[in-house]
Structure 1
Amino acid sequence: MGKTLDGFYKNQSVIYKYFLYVISAGLIVFFFPREGKFKYEFQKGKPWQYETLYAPIDFTVKKTEEEIAEEQQNIRDNRVVYYTYDEAIFKEVRSTFETNLRGGLNQGTLTRNQYNRFLGIGTGLLEKVYENGVFSEIPNAGNITLIKANEAKTLGKPFVQDLERAKAFIKTELDQLNLGGASAVLYQTLADVLRPNAYLDQELTQKALDEELSQISLTRGHVSKGTLIIAKGEVVEADNLKMLNSLKEEFESELWKGDNYYYIILGYAVLVALVLMMLFLFLKKYRAEIYANNKKVTFIFFNVILMVFSTTLVVKTDETYVYVVPLCILPLILKNFFDARLGLFVHVLTILILGFVVPNSFEYIFLQIIAGIVTILTVSELYKRANLFISVGQITLIYIIGYFAFHVIHEGNMLGIEWGTFGIFLLNGMITLFAMPLIYLYEKLFGLVSDVSLLELSDTNSKLLKELANKAPGTFHHSLQVANLSEAAANEIGANAMLVRVGALYHDIGKMNRPTYFTENQTTNVNPHDDLPPKESAKIIIDHVIEGIEMARKYKIPDRVIDFIRTHHGTTLVYYFYKKQLDIDEDVELSDFRYPGPIPFSKETAILMMADSVEAASKSLKSPTYPIIDDFVEKIVQGQIDANQFLNANITFQEIEAVKKVLKKKLTNIYHLRVEYPE
């Protein structure tokens, strides 16, 4: 039992990676849509590249969503609108007319003969007007049905009238009767009593519309098993495209049923496991320092799962908006925290996983890979806000150009472009801008450091650097000089200049505890090492590395910066005190005079080691000249190479030569060397 627990603790890092691997694969497969995958890939306008295809099963050819929507719209445009005829209103209007007319008789304005004549004319006109009803408004529909006395009567537009038309009809009829001055009186009497009596029956109209819509057929025909669908080399278009889409939909829905469910899950799991295995192998072989850090590995896998989850959620909801998911955030963030190669590799693997679930997978994979490459090539120095906006603009432009090219290939012309898709790409770009707050959030959650944080750390007014300037001004000045040298060298070979500058500013903070034991802080001729044995002096000098690490942790300096404190002396010797000890005792333990390391493991940490040693040793130069500086830099850097200090750093000899060239040039500028003119 004890051996088992001991083995568990020794291998807990590896066990955690296995656990992360299994959980990640399981989550990704769980997010996948529950449907099978059609075994043929095809696109409109391209030749069928497989063998001649015959229908493997009986299936119906389904109408496209556009065709169904067009039929539905056609029914709505030609729908029957029902109006209800109110007989009671007509009777009230007629009764009111008779009452008003009798009032004129009683008041003596009308004679009995005029009353009888006007009553007959008016009643006849009202019956004509109200025969098809007076509508509250003229309907826009093409088909109008009036429900009168439980009978439906279809009316054409010419037979439909509202109050204005009814009044105009009455006026025309009266003018033809030649009643003279009495015509206006009778018209006014009729106009005053007219009221609408035909009203829209919304419930009946909607019910009839719903019934017509429900009768739309979703299919356009039936294909029997064995029917030729498409021949090899035939272009995918028109009818065969509809049959292929219908077969694909039928096949995928049937494939997921029964025992097939478990086999499909197994297939997805194997493919996802292979992709994630490639990611682990890449990290182990080419990014060993990241692979060894479980927090960083978890961070990478978390982002992959987040992108898969977001995309599959959109696909399940409405696949039209699949490009809304800002997939380019993934390489952008990984490049910001790690490097471009890792960012692009993870991006491509994530796209391969999503290729199982997105529609038009070839188009999707092509566009996303191109967009990812553009992200890697354009995104740099994110602490400059304008850079992110420029990069997002370029990414959005690539999406738009790619979509336009695919549309032209499929349709053979520029007609039918869905301009709304461009809006989706623009929305994608705006969401990608969320990368900045997301980077900040990741820094807090995973303890990582970005260029934005590095910019904050490079501020010499920060609490820790101000304390260094007050307690050890010589060390602070030395750190500034090293930062300038390192930054220039990093720019020369394409390393992370901001990171190496910040590392240089903090690399000697451990000297604050005992500043006078370091020559750059000694303002008098008194050297405290004169009263100490060489071994103790060496321990004080070496301890500034350990104390610097402790101090950095206290002030919550990120690990990427602390790495510079650890490695800036590598495993070199405190040579001065080592030689001094040899003069006293030839039997010397090298470990007492050697820095604990580790040796530099990146271009940036290697640059700092060279710049730190050169700048510190340059203080001992007397009357420096070009040849002296040249030999001086060569000697120091070559000594570090001979001591195997750069074995773990991914820096080439060519890059080391470039760094030396920059250091020589900068030292020449520092000492203000001029060309010596002959006397």
Structure 2
Amino acid sequence: MSFFGRVRDYLRPVNRPPAGGRRDAWVHHGFRAGMVAVIALAVPLMFPQSTPSGFDGIDPGSVARQTINADFDFDVPKDPDRLLEQQDDAEAGVTPRLRFEPARADSIVERLNAFIAQLDSVIPSAEARVAEEGLPAAAGAALVRGEVRQIAGGIGVDLSAEGVIDSLQVEYLLDEASRGRLRDELEAAFDGLREGVIRESELADISAANVVVREGSAGDDRVRAVGDLVRLGDFTRAAREGVGDRLPPGGAALFQQLLLMGQPTLRIDQDATRQAREQARAAIPQVEGFVLEGERIITENTVVTEEDYRRLLAYQAQILERGGTRTTSDFLRNVGMVLLVVSMLGILVFATFRFRRDIYENLPSFTVLLGLVVIVMAAAGAVAATQGSPALVPVALAGLLAAALFDSLLGLVVVSTITGILMGQPHFSGLAAPMVTVAGGVTAAFAVHTIRTRSQSWVLVMLITAAYVGAGLLLVLTGHYALGEMGSTAALGFLNATVCVGLGVGVGLPLLETFTGRTTEASLLELSDMNRPLLRRLAREAPGTYAHSINVANLVEAACEAIGADAVQGRVGVYYHDIGKLERPQYFIENQPRGLNPHDHLTPWQSAEILRDHVRHGLAMAEEARLPEVVKDFIREHHGTQFIRYFLEKARAQDGVAEVDPSDFAYPGPKPQSRETGVAMLADAVEAASRVLSNPSPERIRALIDRLVQDRIDHGELDDCPLTYRDVRIVKREFAHVLTGLYHHRIDYPKPTAPGERPGGPGATAAGEGPEKSGVEEAAATAGEKGASAPIDLEQAAQGDTGPIPALDSEGVASGRTD
């Protein structure tokens, strides 16, 4: 055998009850214990580990429940918002840096002197050349003036025009003394640049009242008021004042043009300003205090202040940096969390093992049960990580699905398990979280059975929301919630309920029904719609069988409700238990016209085969219609392994037959495996026999029920179903109650009479005088007109053979006369 084959054989006991061997038991139970262990280790990891030191539940304004002392020295950082505000204030307080560059003034003066010196050199040279070449006066003057204009253009003075002012300026420059006086005026003006002059556009960018002026790269810093700084425009206007009085027009015009050579000697130093601002931000201390080892951080039974809380947060941050643990108590706390999960899951597992063994032994169902816990824990971890409200934990989803798939009590256990685990998580400690989660989960578990179809899911949403509102109100009244928190709980509860019901009913239930092979009450209720194709066909093609199924369903529903079985499952299963008769409806007495019986022309073996085949045909139809297994169980189990006695005895009575195999006349079974199918078997027999019961008084009905039920018990048909003697006693009582109401005596209405004749006609009796035949008895009597003479054996009618007379067997087959 291959390795995988050996593994498959070894794991086969996982999804089946232990066969009795020790190894199978270890594998079966050990696998489930392993699932619990894995979940117990995983659940604590689903919750945030940001508070590893047991400081949860401490918030500003709350009363501390413990005293906390520092185990080591640590700094207390400032609140980030406060630190940022201080840094911004420090940056805004930095005085802008200006750089003073007096060398610019020197450079301007040097250019001016070079301009004058060049004129002093060029003009005499030009005049000497004119004289040397003997040029005419006009030509010589033009040559000299051209040289002056060219030199002036080189420094930015445009004298190219032939206007009066330009000519005056040229004439002014031709005179050496005038040039000297112009130079002196400009040098005196440019001396003002050495006091510091700034451009207006840069000054507009300065919002501070003062600036720091630095002279050169290593000069001293001086603080100057912004209002004392000289603007370039002011400098130019001041220099121009009075120059017209001191210089002739040509000289004044030249002065104004050459004054434009002046440049600002003050400019904003962006690099120095940015550096100063960065230094100012960095100079703000990032810590606001220091805590020494052993110093008290939080004092028990005192109100936690903002400062206390910041110190605690700093302590927690340092603990995380040091490895996430403060003392060995944190390790023990994590161990305790694992043990808590194991304990709570252990309660859930024990409940299924003790009270719902079918779920425990079915691995898909058991996996779903634990999976619901894991899903809710994962969602709760996300809620805790975001500091969300407990009303957002989808515990209602787990309660809803567990109750719908299994039962409400198990849903309650699942909700309790989840709540117990959540109470051990820091974010959900206290009274509020458990109350809110229990309210939503328990309501979902019990209210899910109030909806009859999936379209009524909104009712479930409203009920769960009302539970959240009620929990919030209780928390307000007990002082654990403010009124605003109640409103948020209601709103979030409605959102949670909507999502849980939408996912659970719309997505979860169909998927989990397929995964586990279970059928929920909602699916069964949808199958109970009489407009379903199979039921409509049954009513149309086999009306007698349809009426029989309805009557049996009423009996089963009443009995199941009384013993605590699944009444919906019982009723719906019985609706479909005889659908196999649709294959040959005319072979069953309830569907036959009076006097016509096709069994008269068949051998006993053929008749028995037809009766047995209705089970096989029913299962095939159920498979084609995709009916759930729980409904198919009613089809295959409602006759168990009973013999079709009438045709068995008829075969034995035939001449020439040496030996008859009884298995040819037995239903294939199996015997009923559940309480619901067991009740259905009893109801099927009782309803069939009661239809031919003459004078159905309460006493006779009870006697009939007792005989038929005891017959099934004596033949072992109920050995495999979990019906107790108490259940059987209650079932018989409910059958009697329903049938008594169905066959109670009705008023006899007199027929119309002729004048002078007694009401009811000649020989008529008064109401209640003498026995009255039921419709079934009348039909039986009519059938007997074809040759029947013996009375009808009611027990055999329920069993399926009525002797050699026309009678109703368990399938309602009317046998013809056989003598």
Taking structure 2 as the reference length, the TM-score comes to 0.56
The offset of 1:611, in angstroms, is: 2.2
One-letter amino acid of the structure 2 residue matched with residue 345 of structure 1 = V
- Report the equivalent of 1:55: 69
Answer yes or no: is the 8 Å Cα contact 2:40–2:339 preserved in 1.
Answer: no
2:690 corresponds to 1:618 = yes
3-state DSSP of counterpart to 2:414 = helix
Q: Which has the larger radius of gyration?
A: 2
Rate the CA distance shift 1:624–1:280 in 2: closer, same or farther, 3 A.
Answer: same
- Report the equivalent of 2:444: 375
Unaligned runs of 5+ residues in structure 2 are: 17-26, 97-199, 214-222, 227-272, 749-766, 770-819
Whole-angstrom CA distance in 1 between matches of 2:277 and 2:338: 50
The offset of 1:221, in angstroms, is: 5.9
2:443 corresponds to 1:365 = no
2:24 corresponds to 1:13 = no
Q: Deviations over 1:98-156 (max 9, x none)?
A: xxxxxxxxxxxxxxxxxxxxxxxxxxxxxxxx9xx999xxxxxxxx965776799999x
Mean Cα deviation higher: 74-83 or 387-396: 74-83
One-letter amino acid of the structure 2 residue matched with residue 465 of structure 1 = L
**Which of the residues 676, 700, 705 maps onto 1:633?**
705
Whole-angstrom CA distance in 2 between matches of 1:415 and 1:609: 58
Answer yes or no: is the 8 Å Cα contact 1:42–1:236 preserved in 2.
Answer: no
Q: Deviations over 1:398-456 (max 9, x none)?
A: 43444565567677x95885854543333223323313212345445655433332233
Whole-angstrom CA distance in 1 between matches of 2:88 and 2:461: 43
Whole-angstrom CA distance in 2 between matches of 1:339 and 1:322: 25
3-state DSSP of counterpart to 1:320 = coil
- Report the equivalent of 1:433: 501
- Report the equivalent of 1:458: 528
Mean Cα deviation higher: 502-511 or 542-551: 542-551
Rate the CA distance shift 1:54–1:10 in 2: closer, same or farther, 3 A.
Answer: closer
Aligned pairs for 1:109-188 (under 5 A) are 146=208
- Report the equivalent of 2:676: 604
The offset of 1:330, in angstroms, is: 1.0
Whole-angstrom CA distance in 2 between matches of 1:212 and 1:497: 77
Aligned pairs for 1:91-110 (under 5 A) are none
Whole-angstrom CA distance in 2 between matches of 1:74 and 1:383: 61
One-letter amino acid of the structure 2 residue matched with residue 621 of structure 1 = L
**Which of the residues 539, 561, 565 maps onto 2:631?**
561
One-letter amino acid of the structure 2 residue matched with residue 628 of structure 1 = R
Whole-angstrom CA distance in 2 between matches of 1:219 and 1:609: 83
Q: Deviations over 1:187-210 (max 9, x none)?
A: xxxxxxxxxxxxxxxxx99x999x
Rate the CA distance shift 1:149–1:267 in 2: closer, same or farther, 3 A.
Answer: same
- Report the equivalent of 1:199: none
Mean Cα deviation higher: 494-503 or 250-259: 250-259
Whole-angstrom CA distance in 1 between matches of 2:726 and 2:472: 43
Whole-angstrom CA distance in 2 between matches of 1:444 and 1:154: 85
Answer yes or no: is the 8 Å Cα contact 1:146–1:154 preserved in 2.
Answer: no
2:327 corresponds to 1:327 = no
3-state DSSP of counterpart to 1:225 = coil
Whole-angstrom CA distance in 1 between matches of 2:438 and 2:291: 40
The offset of 1:262, in angstroms, is: 10
3-state DSSP of counterpart to 1:621 = coil
Rate the CA distance shift 1:80–1:290 in 2: closer, same or farther, 3 A.
Answer: same
2:370 corresponds to 1:301 = yes
Q: Deviations over 1:447-498 (max 9, x none)?
A: 5433332233222332222333444332222112222333344445554433
- Report the equivalent of 2:231: none
Rate the CA distance shift 1:506–1:292 in 2: closer, same or farther, 3 A.
Answer: farther
Aligned pairs for 1:489-568 (under 5 A) are 489-493=559-563, 495-529=565-599, 534=604, 537-568=607-638
**Which of the residues 10, 32, 37 maps onto 2:46?**
32
Aligned pairs for 1:239-318 (under 5 A) are 242=309, 256=324, 272=341, 275-276=344-345, 278-316=347-385, 318=386
3-state DSSP of counterpart to 1:328 = helix
The offset of 1:507, in angstroms, is: 0.8
Whole-angstrom CA distance in 2 between matches of 1:427 and 1:84: 55
Whole-angstrom CA distance in 2 between matches of 1:218 and 1:304: 44
Answer yes or no: is the 8 Å Cα contact 1:549–1:565 preserved in 2.
Answer: yes
Unaligned runs of 5+ residues in structure 1 are: 86-129, 136-143, 156-203
One-letter amino acid of the structure 2 residue matched with residue 547 of structure 1 = H
3-state DSSP of counterpart to 2:291 = strand
The offset of 1:557, in angstroms, is: 0.5
Percent identical among aligned pairs is 28
Answer yes or no: is the 8 Å Cα contact 1:334–1:340 preserved in 2.
Answer: yes
**Which of the residues 746, 763, 766 maps onto 1:674?**
746
**Which of the residues 539, 542, 548 maps onto 1:472?**
542
The offset of 1:341, in angstroms, is: 1.6
One-letter amino acid of the structure 2 residue matched with residue 367 of structure 1 = V
Answer yes or no: is the 8 Å Cα contact 1:458–1:505 preserved in 2.
Answer: yes
Whole-angstrom CA distance in 2 between matches of 1:557 and 1:154: 95
The offset of 1:335, in angstroms, is: 1.1
Mean Cα deviation higher: 327-336 or 520-529: 520-529
3-state DSSP of counterpart to 2:706 = helix
- Report the equivalent of 2:233: none
Answer yes or no: is the 8 Å Cα contact 1:500–1:608 preserved in 2.
Answer: yes
The offset of 1:503, in angstroms, is: 0.7
Q: Deviations over 1:47-77 (max 9, x none)?
A: 95xxx866372376979xxx95985899899
Rate the CA distance shift 1:154–1:592 in 2: closer, same or farther, 3 A.
Answer: farther
Answer yes or no: is the 8 Å Cα contact 2:297–2:312 preserved in 1.
Answer: no
Mean Cα deviation higher: 488-497 or 610-619: 488-497
Answer yes or no: is the 8 Å Cα contact 1:538–1:577 preserved in 2.
Answer: yes
2:419 corresponds to 1:351 = yes
Whole-angstrom CA distance in 2 between matches of 1:356 and 1:447: 34
Q: Deviations over 1:153-172 (max 9, x none)?
A: 999xxxxxxxxxxxxxxxxx
- Report the equivalent of 1:184: none
Whole-angstrom CA distance in 1 between matches of 2:568 and 2:611: 27
Whole-angstrom CA distance in 1 between matches of 2:708 and 2:288: 82
Rate the CA distance shift 1:214–1:8 in 2: closer, same or farther, 3 A.
Answer: farther
3-state DSSP of counterpart to 1:562 = helix
Whole-angstrom CA distance in 2 between matches of 1:617 and 1:62: 89
Answer yes or no: is the 8 Å Cα contact 2:460–2:501 preserved in 1.
Answer: no
Whole-angstrom CA distance in 1 between matches of 2:487 and 2:224: 45
The offset of 1:632, in angstroms, is: 1.8
Aligned pairs for 1:215-230 (under 5 A) are 222=291, 224-225=293-294
Mean Cα deviation higher: 470-479 or 269-278: 269-278
One-letter amino acid of the structure 1 residue matched with residue 448 of structure 2 = V
Rate the CA distance shift 1:266–1:80 in 2: closer, same or farther, 3 A.
Answer: closer
Whole-angstrom CA distance in 2 between matches of 1:342 and 1:218: 55
One-letter amino acid of the structure 1 residue matched with residue 366 of structure 2 = V
Whole-angstrom CA distance in 2 between matches of 1:641 and 1:59: 82
Answer yes or no: is the 8 Å Cα contact 1:83–1:147 preserved in 2.
Answer: no
- Report the equivalent of 2:780: none
Whole-angstrom CA distance in 2 between matches of 1:537 and 1:219: 99
